Structure 1
């Protein structure tokens, strides 16, 4: 993104001001957290933090992304099917929060250093050497949090085996909001400490 700025290429976000990105799609229905819960988060981050929501996805995700945007309300905009790869990168790179299922955009957000919350159907009780373990394949980055069930719901074992959202339903909206709240509060504390440091140090040129 910085190189594109240097080359003078136009970069602009589709909304004005601060925003979060939500990516509700996934390659498998068992990996998809309910649209109603994503919508709850979208409304909450606007009410609490003034963050608008950009919903992203590919052409196959247009239906669920538009449904999510409509459920959130006027503070949301769906860009599903309207962006190329570079535009997706730009949108994610300028976000304050990324929220999504265990899918490709989450890996982009984590790699860009965006605070990223990934919702996974894979239970933490399963072995870390399992091919789908987020311990092994979670998005890279030190600002990534993976929220997952503690254990699978019967009859699933050792991981979710349903053909629709099942074990992932154990991850609650309250858990996601708590994770976001902790990050926002940590950033406020950090910003306050930096301001105090400047006040104590004064003008270094004097």
Structure 2
């Protein structure tokens, strides 16, 4: 099917269905901007999770309003997960009453999300369609691996969405910057480097000792080093800090998502596993060194390639059972990025720091 379509007439309200995690939201930002650019007078409504509502409340950007979805099997929750059918039916009735002109399904290949999107009663449904999934009114094939930013832009193009040049995909608020400033020593004069050693997927995690070695090397070269993680990653952050010879700032539990964005904006560099804060940095315009398993780099590559220097592992077989994990994932959880060496990450980090200003993006 062709993805090049004219604008739809009479569009007053657009819904985007994408109830997932931070990195996945960042991947959708170019498509959201493209829809806003194409339909500047329409209300853009994001159907997502509670964290989307909290993070986007009052934030400048393409999204006007967030509607929090109940758990829907296969759409934001596992297909076999529990669901309150009454809550789901009330939600679908409420969305039909909204009278959406366009509903963009941007949650996967549509096995579960396309039938659900069709229940919401929009005048026109668009999205991706994997083999065997139900069709929408307009759709593009869903393929893996693929650059997710470009794949979602292809969906926006089904209704004439085009992308203006975006030096920054994610807008910050004064509250973001204030929260970040409160955690940094006053007038240190040292460029900030943020280390992000965690990830929701253990296979994407580089060893904490290696993060510590990178942090020590950059601290010795005059950088102020901070180590960030979620509350569930507190032990990991402490391990990185304990392995470092130089002092660092431990950030676990001290920043909300907005404050983290403010800190990333102030950073000269982010060094991170393939996880949400890495993709926030690329959306904000802060240079980053990303530690990737090779197929994930295809998914997560930014629209501004110069912001990302990637250290990439080509390991495909599980070291426990030997299974090739490119097509089928085994039950084991070894790191697939262990073969990346410290010298490579430091080389990328120093190259960024030589060519970028201390405040972040050019």
TM (norm. structure 2) is 0.44
Residue 223 of structure 2 is aligned to residue 60 of structure 1: no
Residue 204 of structure 2 is aligned to residue 40 of structure 1: no
Size of the aligned set, in residue pairs, is 177
Residue 159 of structure 2 is aligned to residue 24 of structure 1: no
- Counterpart in the other structure of 2:345: 176
| Contiguous gaps of at least 5 residues in structure 2 | 1-170, 358-362
Single out whichever of 100-109 and 70-79 deviates more from structure 2: 70-79
Q: How does 1:98-177 map to 2 (within 5 A)?
A: 98-120=270-292, 122-123=293-294, 132-141=295-304, 142-153=306-317, 155-159=322-326, 161=330, 163-177=332-346
| Contiguous gaps of at least 5 residues in structure 1 | 124-131, 189-206
- Counterpart in the other structure of 1:192: none
The structure with the largest alpha-carbon Rg is: 2
Q: Which structure dedicates a bigger proportion of its chain to strand? A: 2
Matched position secondary structure for 2:272:
strand
**Preserved CA contact (<8 Å) 2:313 2:336:** yes
Q: CA deviation at 1:95?
A: 0.6
- Alignment RMSD, CA only? 2.6
**CA shift digits 1:41-84 (9 cap, x unpaired):** 00000112x11211111110111011112222443111111211
Residue 223 of structure 2 is aligned to residue 51 of structure 1: yes
Distance in 1 (alpha carbons) for counterparts of 2:249 and 2:178: 24
- 1:164–1:185 CA distance, 2 compared to 1 (3 A): same
- 1:30–1:184 CA distance, 2 compared to 1 (3 A): same
Q: How does 1:71-86 map to 2 (within 5 A)?
A: 71-86=243-258
Matched position secondary structure for 2:280:
helix
- 1:45–1:156 CA distance, 2 compared to 1 (3 A): farther
User: Structure 1 stretches (4+) deviating beyond 4 angstroms?
Assistant: 8-11
**Preserved CA contact (<8 Å) 1:100 1:106:** yes
Distance in 2 (alpha carbons) for counterparts of 1:94 and 1:46: 17
Q: CA deviation at 1:36?
A: 0.3
Distance in 1 (alpha carbons) for counterparts of 2:355 and 2:297: 25
**CA shift digits 1:108-158 (9 cap, x unpaired):** 1111111111101x23xxxxxxxx532232345331122112342462425
Q: Which structure dedicates a bigger proportion of its chain to helix? A: 1
**CA shift digits 1:1-48 (9 cap, x unpaired):** 76518xx95651523332100111101111110000000000000112
TM (norm. structure 1) is 0.75
* Structure of greater relative contact order (alpha carbons < 8 Å, 6+ residues apart): 1
Matched position secondary structure for 1:168:
coil
